[in-house]
Amino acid sequence: MKSIQVGLLGVGTVGSGVFSVLQRNQSEIVRRAGRGIEIAVVADLDTARAHAAVGPAVKVVSDARAVIANPDIDIVIELIGGYGIAKQLVLEAIEAGKHVVTANKALLAVHGSEIFAAASRKGVMVGFEAAVAGGIPIIKSLREGLSANRIQWIAGIINGTTNFILSEMRDKGLDFDVVLKQAQALGYAEADPTFDIEGVDAAHKAALMSAMAFGVPVQFDKAYVEGITQLGAQDIKYAELLGYRIKLLGITKKTDKGIELRVHPTLVPNKRLIANVEGAMNAVMVHGDAVGTTLYYGKGAGSEPTASAVIADLIDIVRLHNADPAQRVPHLAFQPDAMSNAPVLSMGEVVTSYYLRLKVADEAGVLANVTSILAKAGISIDAVLQREADEVGGEGATQTDLIILTHDCVEAKMNEALSQMQVLKTVLGTIVRIRKEELA
């Protein structure tokens, strides 16, 4: 049978990886898919770069719409990125009856509902395994492997840039800015690194996983997003002393009241496997009622790891493109007419535990004042660490750091307790609050 014909839009790092892995593993892929997969035409504004990546046998054009208009093309791979022209091209490809494969988490997190609805109307598939955690087959796991379960929570290191930065800061005592530059040079960071360091990229991915885990719409706009730019080196050290590592986690949980969807720096016990995921690696924990806790680990970015996910989607499409669309796996795991309207909870309604660091005057009664505010709020203390003033501020210092770990409480209560502690005369600077998850 003739190979299925694929058009590739954007031949950067991932596009070149897709081309070379498809070539290298074609015979193995044919054995799996039952048919060859051929990139017949590529579109890139930089045609010289595209020619260099795909060689003389593949047609190169600068106009992506020429690929979409080509009647021989069955599948369009979108690797342009962003919400602008990429959105137009994806919708036009769907309208032209092409299946689409994309790694574009920003696009799907913001416009996923519109894109999946358009694809369902036209009876085409949109594959996006590469959009979350790169080479880790987490979409496949959520959508198919775990489909017997009521999924209860997901917690993931789903941004390699920030995990690399946090690992290097902890290991080598380097400053945030130095490590960010290294991450960019290594090609982990988004074109705009604020998406990485402010938690936006992780929130795009968390919103997609949340939708697939709980059968709710993709609701990036309702996610709580806090990045790592405010994180101090001393908090990384204190967390370590208390047996925790700080990771930027994407978390989504189902509770009786609704869905938690949040990205923020999080203390994780260092005995958990996920706490030991270092460098640019990604890892996702999924807890289902039947399976218990599962963990998926691998490269979340890079040319061939991401190509691995793109090509897996191509193979799925080859296997299913002649099937009745009603028999295919739904884009977001649940049947479109069976979606839940469970609300996404505000941060005030979230239940979690906390690390607090207070800069305090080293005098009698300070600890009692702070703990009595927590006690009155019904917040239970898990551990307290008070540094000797000399150790923190040098000989003769009169201030010290007081670190408190709490048990779970509703965030609104913690906010109230924090505002009361903040105005105590003996509390000398802004209190640092970092959320903590035991992930048991």
Q: Contact positions toward ligand HSE, by CB under 6 A?
A: 134, 159-161, 188-190, 196, 201, 300-301
Q: How far is CA 322 from the centre of its chain?
A: 32
H or E element in which residue 33 lies: helix 26-33
DSSP state of 220: G
Looking at the Cβ atoms of 12 and 123, the one nearer to ligand HSE is: 12
Query: Closest approach of Cβ 161 to ligand HSE, in Å?
Result: 3
- Given its phi and psi angles, is residue 287 left (phi above 0), alpha (psi -120 to 50 degrees) or beta? beta
Query: Closest approach of Cβ 229 to ligand HSE, in Å?
Result: 15
Alpha helix (H) ranges present in 230-302? 233-241
- What are the Cα distances from residue 243, in Å, to 236, 268, 269, 357? 11, 9, 6, 15
Query: Closest approach of Cβ 131 to ligand HSE, in Å?
Result: 8
Tell me how crowded residue 427 is: count the other CB atoms within 10 A of its CB.
Answer: 19
Looking at the Cβ atoms of 112 and 160, the one nearer to ligand HSE is: 160
Looking at the Cβ atoms of 133 and 370, the one nearer to ligand HSE is: 133
Check if the beta carbon of residue 439 is closer than 8 Å to that of residue 272: yes
**88: Cβ–Cβ under 8 A, 6 or more apart, which residues?**
none
CA atoms within 13 A of residue 396's CA, in its CB half-sphere: 0
Query: Closest approach of Cβ 302 to ligand HSE, in Å?
Result: 8
Tokens of 397: 């210092």
Looking at the Cβ atoms of 33 and 180, the one nearer to ligand HSE is: 180
Instruction: Measure the CA–CA gap between 278 and 300, rounded to whole angstroms.
Output: 12
Tell me how crowded residue 52 is: count the other CB atoms within 10 A of its CB.
Answer: 12
Query: Closest approach of Cβ 170 to ligand HSE, in Å?
Result: 17
Looking at the Cβ atoms of 7 and 160, the one nearer to ligand HSE is: 160
Instruction: Measure the CA–CA gap between 263 and 247, rounded to whole angstroms.
Output: 10
Query: Closest approach of Cβ 22 to ligand HSE, in Å?
Result: 21
Catalytic residue, candidates 87, 98, 105, 205:
205
Looking at the Cβ atoms of 183 and 404, the one nearer to ligand HSE is: 183
253 in catalytic set:
no
Residue from 225, 79, 82, 219 nearest 159 by CA = 225
Give the catalytic positions in this structure: 205
